[in-house]
Chains A and B, each alone.
Chain A
Amino acid sequence: MSATRNDATASRTAAASTPFGLDGADTCVRMISPTGVFEPNAAAEEFLPYLDRITEADHRRFYRDMVVVRKFDTEAANLQRQGQLALWVPSHGQEAAQVGSAYATRPQDHVFPSYREHVVGMIRGLDVVDILRMLRGVTLGGWVPEEHGNFHLYTLVLASQTLHSTGYAMGMQLDGSTATGNPETDQAVIVYYGDGASSQGDANEALVFAASYQTPQVFFLQNNHWAISVPVARQSRTPLYLRAGGFGMPGTQIDGNDVLASFAVTAKSMDDARAGHGPSLIEALTYRVGAHTTADDPTKYRDPEELAYWVARDPIVRFRSYLKGLGVEQHFLDDVDDEAADFAADSRRRALEITGPEQSVIFDNVYAEPHPLVAEQKAWLERYEASFDEGKN
Chain B
Amino acid sequence: MTAALDTSVASASLPMTKALNAGLRRAMLDDPRVLLMGEDIGPLGGVFRVTEGLIAEFGDKRVLDTPLAESGIIGTAIGLAMRGFRPVCEIQFDGFVFPGFDQITSQLARMRNRHEGGLIMPVVIRIPYGGHIGSIEHHQESPEAYFAHTPGLRVVSPSNPHDAYWMMQEAIASDDPVIFFEPKSRYWPKGEVRFDESGTPLHASRVVRAGTDVTVVGHGAMVSVLLQAAELATAEGISLEVIDLRSISPIDYRPILGSVQKTGHLVVTQEAPGFVSVGSEIAATVAERSFYTLEAPVLRVSGFDTPFPPAAVETHFLPSPDRVLEAVDRALAY
Chain A 164-191 near chain B by CB (<8 Å), digits 1 or 0? 1111111110110000000000000000
Decide if B185 is an interface residue (CB 8 Å cutoff): no
In the complex, A366 Cα to B250 Cα: how many Å?
Answer: 13
**Interface pair A167/B76, CB less than 8 Å apart:** yes
From known contacts A141-B114, A175-B84, infer whether A369 and B77 are also in contact, taking CB-CB under 8 Å.
no
Is the Cβ of A165 less than 8 Å from the Cβ of B79?
A: yes
**Contact at A160–B75, with CB atoms within 8 Å?**
yes
Q: What is the CA–CA distance of A140 and B35 in the complex, to the nearest angstrom?
A: 29
The smallest beta-carbon distance between A238 and chain B, in angstroms, is 22
Instruction: Tell which of B77, B118, B121, B251 has the most Cβ of chain A within 10 Å.
Output: B118
Q: Which of A79-134 contact B (CB under 8 A)?
A: none
Q: Are A175 and B83 in contact (CB under 8 A)?
A: yes
Which A137-161 residues have a C-beta within 8 angstroms of B? 139-141, 144-146, 152-153, 155, 157, 160
Please, which residues of chain A bring their CB within 8 A of the CB of B75? 160, 162-164, 166-167, 202, 205-206
Min Cβ gap A372→B in Å is: 5
Interface stretch (choices B66-74, B208-216, B257-265, B296-304): B66-74
Residue from the list B78, B79, B106, B120 in contact with A157, Cβ < 8 A: B106
C-alpha spacing A153/B120, complex, angstroms: 15
Contacts of B112 in A (CB 8 A): 365-368
Residues of A within 8 A of B84 (CB): 171, 175
Given A139, A157, A169, A208, which contacts B72 in the complex, CB threshold below 8 Å? A208
Alpha-carbon distance A264/B186, docked complex (angstroms): 58
Query: In the assembled complex, which residues on chain B have CB atoms less than 8 Å from the CB atom of A167?
Result: 75-83
The reply to whether the CB of A212 lies closer than 8 angstroms to some CB of chain B is yes
Q: Bound state CA distance, A201 and B154, in angstroms?
A: 26
Chain B residues near A145 (CB-CB < 8 A): 118
Q: Mark B113-139, 1 if CB is under 8 A from A, else 0.
A: 111111011000000000000000000
Query: Does B49 touch A at the CB level, under 8 Å?
Result: no
Kindly list chain B residues whose C-beta atoms are within 8 Å of the C-beta of A369. Answer: 174-176
Q: Is B160 an interface residue (CB 8 A)?
A: no
Bound-complex Cα distance A201 to B103 (A): 11
- Within 8 Å of chain A (Cβ to Cβ): is B107? yes
> Judging by beta carbons under 8 Å apart, are B175 and A368 in contact?
yes
List the A side residues contacting B102 at CB < 8 Å.
157, 160, 202
Complex CA gap A130/B106 in Å reads 22
Chain B residues near A366 (CB, 8 Å)?
Answer: 112-113, 151-152
Distance between B105 CB and nearest chain A CB, rounded to angstroms: 10
List the B residue with the shortest CB-CB distance to A210.
B76
Do B116 and A365 touch (CB < 8 A)?
yes
Min CB–CB distance B72 → chain A (angstroms) = 4
Q: B residues within 8 A CB of A372?
A: 250, 252
Please measure, in the bound complex, the distance between the C-alpha atom of A371 and the C-alpha atom of B247, giving whole angstroms: 12
Can you report 15 A-B residue pairs in the complex whose CB atoms are below 8 A from each other? A141-B116, A145-B118, A157-B102, A164-B76, A164-B79, A165-B79, A170-B83, A171-B79, A171-B83, A201-B71, A202-B103, A205-B75, A208-B67, A361-B116, A373-B251
**Which 6 residue pairs spanning A and B have beta carbons closest together?**
A167-B79, A163-B75, A171-B83, A167-B76, A205-B72, A365-B117
Given A166-B79, A205-B69, A366-B113, 7 extra CB contacts under 8 A = A140-B116, A166-B72, A174-B35, A208-B67, A365-B115, A368-B121, A369-B176
